[in-house]
Structure 1
Amino acid sequence: MATTPEQAGKWNSDLEQKIRLALGDIRFGTVTLVIQDGKVIQLDKNEKIRI
């Protein structure tokens, strides 16, 4: 199924919730979105624990 640029730019509320959770849950590190064909296909969270 082909998507139009307008559809590709819209956020899925489930995805938004997962991103907010990842960002709110991390003190040090990175949150990375992997995008393919204009769609987010993967969310990576890499947390660093400072000792």
Structure 2
Amino acid sequence: MTATLRNLEGQDEASILREIHNALHGLKFGAVEITVHNGQVVQIERKEKFRLQPPSGKHA
């Protein structure tokens, strides 16, 4: 897991929505968690899950 520090202080609503959109982009299975402190978005966390399927015709 990697963390990227970004300065959200003073960002307008459009910038925050763009960050949320980026976190959702391409996500097939998982979650996006938005942390708010004192009415300000302070963290956006993306958790992605990869679902593996056995090859067709074979049983696990």
The normalised TM-score by structure 1 is 0.71
Structure richer in helix, relative to its length: 1
Structure richer in strand, relative to its length: 1
- Ranked by relative contact order (alpha carbons within 8 Å, sequence separation 6 or more), the top structure is 1
CA-atom RMSD, angstroms?
1.2
Contiguous gaps of at least 5 residues in structure 2: 1-11, 53-60
Contiguous gaps of at least 5 residues in structure 1: 1-10
Aligned length: 41
**Which has the greater radius of gyration?**
2
Which contiguous aligned blocks of 4+ residues in structure 1 show a shift greater than 4 angstroms? none
The normalised TM-score by structure 2 is 0.62
Percent identity among equivalent residues? 29
